[in-house]
Structure 1
């Protein structure tokens, strides 16, 4: 190696190390970002799944409770409960990338509030999950 090549090698080492550091940092950041994204997605998916599953169980329970009543108010309640069941069953669990996912969950929440109003029960989903609604199993 001649003296010019040695000088260029020393002079360019800072650029080389900076480039290597950037590349290594970018790769590590990408890897960590993917892990964090998977963790966040799994957590959020579990929350949505829990909520939708609650609505399904709620609606099926009320459908069973109301099935033997014959007055006009009960028929209206059953119709609303069946509508909620239909929305839950159409919910797209298998396509998390769907652009209509937020619209679907909002329709389910709205129908749930309507059903609760017709049944004269509290509408806060979190009260049921935390057990503060007075219900026990």
Structure 2
């Protein structure tokens, strides 16, 4: 009599066993895919940030060269803001994605860039896309 009861237990418990096995397989596959997708997203976002900061740096270096050694008060203020922007870009933590103030520093760089553009009377348009990225004027 004990044997038929064990057979019914196996049938009744099969659903629970398969549910547990399916959950475990799904969890492992989902974790693996999540890591892959996370890396891809990180690379894409990092490339966009790097491209943006690279454009700011190139813009600042070009204007530093153009301003040369002019000594007017207006050029002096431009040069100070320009040097401040270059200093912020140089201190930006490119190699540390876990840096907790990354977005705050990036916002400060953007603000300083806008301030510099205002002082230079330039209206830039930074674009990123499939055809490339860059500053347009």
TM over 0.5: yes
Q: Any gaps of 5 or more consecutive residues in structure 2?
A: none
TM-score of the pair, normalised by structure 1: 0.88
- Cα distance change, pair 124–132 in 1 and its aligned pair in 2 (3 A): closer
Larger RCO, structures 1/2 (Cα 8 Å, 6+ apart): 2
The residue number in structure 1 matching 2:106 is: 105
Q: How far did 1:64 drift? A: 0.7
- The residue that corresponds to 2:19 in the other structure is 18
Aligned to 1:126: 127
Equivalents in 2 of 1:61, 1:110: separation in Å?
19
CA offset digits 1:89-115 (Å, max 9, x no partner): 010111111111011001100000000
Considering fraction of residues, name the structure with more strand: 2
SS in 2 for 1:2: helix
Aligned residues: 132
2:117 is matched with which residue?
116
Cα 1:101/1:83, change in 2 over 3 Å: same
Q: Which residue of 2 aligns with 1:59?
A: 60
1:54-74 deviation digits (Å, cap 9, x = unpaired): 111111111011113222211
